[in-house]
Chain A
């Protein structure tokens, strides 16, 4: 007889612990929730061990359908890691409100992240204020329906289900074709001004760019 309930608890405990230990959670969840997943994984493993130590005496030859669903799902989750296409995700959603957390005008321009820049431009949208400031940011390429692709990051409050994009307009080097969506790039340049739909806006003028690997923590809290 196989004790199915403790077995399924153990497997899902290990799935949660694997997600925590392997860094997979950084692709799925906001960091505030990581400790919760770790504790839940440990509790499930402990409950499974307790279930094996003190069996209730009701065992079945075959697993219940629910146990089967959970076992198959756990196997698939372990076998197929999450590799979301951030540009597909972003294209499906409206732009995020990055809020004002950590907004600072004192930070040297070249130390500002893409999120810092988006926050600044929301707070002080006058593009002349930022013209000529050096920019050094990284992000993924996000296709835009009404112009060249922008450089973006995903902001997440809870999990991928609520992830929404923030992005900077970019003027890519004219001699090269625009980069393909989802590519991660480190971009250096200066902030410029361009006219878009009748209004002036800030735009990142690229001086130098290079491909980078997708960061271990692709989501911005």
Chain B
């Protein structure tokens, strides 16, 4: 039935998908703008990354610090990608940047207040959502740190990062520009001191354009799929302990709503699903969904992205399953 719907969408379904696409995009663009603005301000404030490089570099301490940065820089999953990218480009420790990328969409005041407002009668959710998010950030960061930087970050980001990293940490041959290498003659070394406003503006605009185009792609896929696949399909498995967790994880991936409002969406079906499935929905969506998946491609290489997706999914499944065992 789903396959048939996918092959032959009706005019009403296409019109509805187009409207959902516009809704997702118009809602996400302001948050993306906030994220790019924060990233540009960080670039203006600390162009050589001297302060950001002082963030703790140890796996656990770094990831914890990055995760807690969400309280200082509240952004949803669209807005936090440019900020995390700026952290990495400024030479900040990988653990801190990944901790921020994975946990900040939940560990920020707006999302926690929204969760409390939607579920005042479920105090365990108010505790487990931020705690689970923190654990996921720690686990996925620890896993990604096993890979070398060159296997993790996209070539553009890596090149930008190499330029600001202290010479003691990076081989001269690893720098694509500035001192050695084929592009050294073409690309002038980065000017010392803060960049000019025109250069900042141009850099911010280009970043907004690149992430905006990816957002268009992600929103389009999310809108089409959620119009064609009936939501009841996911809720039908509502009381099965493991399958309900899996199906709500898929729903979170598909629906792609902002982490600041997903608790209100979950309120609509909370009574129909297991507690573990509810927690899984609220944990997975803020870390990764179809809309933000394309944005992640600006930071992580495809292999690292696949590992991230698999690790986050596994961690969420285990937590949802554990909660179902404890409460059911």
Partners in one complex: yes
Q: Which residues does A use to contact B, with CB under 8 Å?
A: 5-6, 8-9, 12, 16, 19, 25, 27-29, 33, 36-37, 39-40, 43-44, 47, 50-51, 54-58, 64-67, 69-70, 73, 77, 80, 82-85, 87-89, 91-97, 99, 157-162, 164, 182
With A51-B202, A66-B212, A82-B19 known as contacts, the answer to whether A161 contacts B30 (CB < 8 A) is no
Q: What residue in chain B is nearest A86 (Cβ atoms)? A: B16
> Cβ of B29 < 8 Å from any Cβ of A?
yes
Interface size class of B (residues with CB under 8 A): 35 or more
Listed stretches B42-50, B133-141, B229-237, B241-249; interface member? B229-237
With A70-B212, A85-B12, A161-B257 known as contacts, the answer to whether A94 contacts B269 (CB < 8 A) is yes
* C-alpha spacing A29/B262, complex, angstroms: 14
Q: Which residues does B use to contact A, with CB under 8 Å?
A: 10, 12-13, 15-16, 18-20, 22-27, 29-30, 33, 37, 197-199, 201-206, 208-210, 212-214, 216-217, 222-223, 226-227, 229-232, 235, 255-258, 260-262, 264-265, 267-272
Q: Please state if A5 and B19 are interface contacts (CB–CB under 8 Å).
A: no
Q: Please state if B268 and A96 are interface contacts (CB–CB under 8 Å).
A: yes
CB distance from A63 to the nearest CB of B (A): 9
Q: Please state if B16 and A88 are interface contacts (CB–CB under 8 Å).
A: yes
Q: Say what secondary structure dominates the interface of chain B.
A: helix
Q: What residue in chain A is nearest B28 (Cβ atoms)? A: A159
21 contacts between A and B (CB under 8 A): A12-B29, A19-B26, A29-B26, A37-B30, A39-B30, A51-B205, A54-B197, A55-B198, A67-B213, A69-B217, A73-B25, A77-B22, A82-B23, A84-B18, A87-B12, A88-B10, A89-B16, A92-B227, A161-B222, A161-B223, A162-B255
Q: What residue in chain A is nearest B203 (Cβ atoms)? A: A56
Q: Please state if A69 and B216 are interface contacts (CB–CB under 8 Å).
A: yes
Q: Say what secondary structure dominates the interface of chain A.
A: helix
Q: Please state if A16 and B16 are interface contacts (CB–CB under 8 Å).
A: no
Q: What residue in chain A is nearest B195 (Cβ atoms)? A: A56
CB distance from B12 to the nearest CB of A (A): 4
Q: Please state if A160 and B19 are interface contacts (CB–CB under 8 Å).
A: yes
* C-alpha spacing A96/B272, complex, angstroms: 11
CB distance from B309 to the nearest CB of A (A): 21
CB distance from B13 to the nearest CB of A (A): 6
Q: Please state if A82 and B256 are interface contacts (CB–CB under 8 Å).
A: no
* C-alpha spacing A116/B110, complex, angstroms: 28
Q: Please state if B16 and A157 are interface contacts (CB–CB under 8 Å).
A: no
Given the complex, which residues of B lie within 8 Å of A164, measured CB to CB? 265, 268
Pick the residue among B202, B227, B261 that contacts A56 (CB under 8 A): B202
Q: Please state if A57 and B201 are interface contacts (CB–CB under 8 Å).
A: no
Q: What residue in chain A is nearest B5 (Cβ atoms)? A: A92
With A12-B29, A36-B30 known as contacts, the answer to whether A161 contacts B23 (CB < 8 A) is yes
Q: Please state if A88 and B30 are interface contacts (CB–CB under 8 Å).
A: no
Given the complex, which residues of A lie within 8 Å of B270, measured CB to CB? 97
Given the complex, which residues of A lie within 8 Å of B226, measured CB to CB? 92, 161
With A92-B231, A97-B271 known as contacts, the answer to whether A158 contacts B209 (CB < 8 A) is no
Given the complex, which residues of B lie within 8 Å of A80, measured CB to CB? 18
Pick the residue among A5, A69, A162, A182 that contacts B265 (CB under 8 A): A162
Given the complex, which residues of B lie within 8 Å of A58, measured CB to CB? 202
Pick the residue among B23, B37, B197, B204 that contacts A159 (CB under 8 A): B23
Given the complex, which residues of A lie within 8 Å of B217, measured CB to CB? 69
Q: Please state if A97 and B261 are interface contacts (CB–CB under 8 Å).
A: no
CB distance from B31 to the nearest CB of A (A): 8
Q: Please state if A33 and B27 are interface contacts (CB–CB under 8 Å).
A: yes
Q: Please state if B256 and A56 are interface contacts (CB–CB under 8 Å).
A: no
Given the complex, which residues of B lie within 8 Å of A8, measured CB to CB? 205, 209
Pick the residue among B15, B24, B212, B272 that contacts A161 (CB under 8 A): B24
CB distance from A17 to the nearest CB of B (A): 11
CB distance from A208 to the nearest CB of B (A): 28
Q: Please state if B264 and A84 are interface contacts (CB–CB under 8 Å).
A: no
Q: Please state if B213 and A6 are interface contacts (CB–CB under 8 Å).
A: no
Pick the residue among B202, B229, B267 that contacts A5 (CB under 8 A): B202
Other 18 A-B pairs with CB < 8 A, given A16-B30, A64-B209, A66-B209: A5-B206, A9-B209, A16-B26, A28-B26, A51-B201, A56-B199, A56-B201, A57-B198, A66-B213, A67-B209, A82-B22, A82-B23, A84-B19, A92-B227, A157-B261, A157-B265, A161-B257, A162-B268
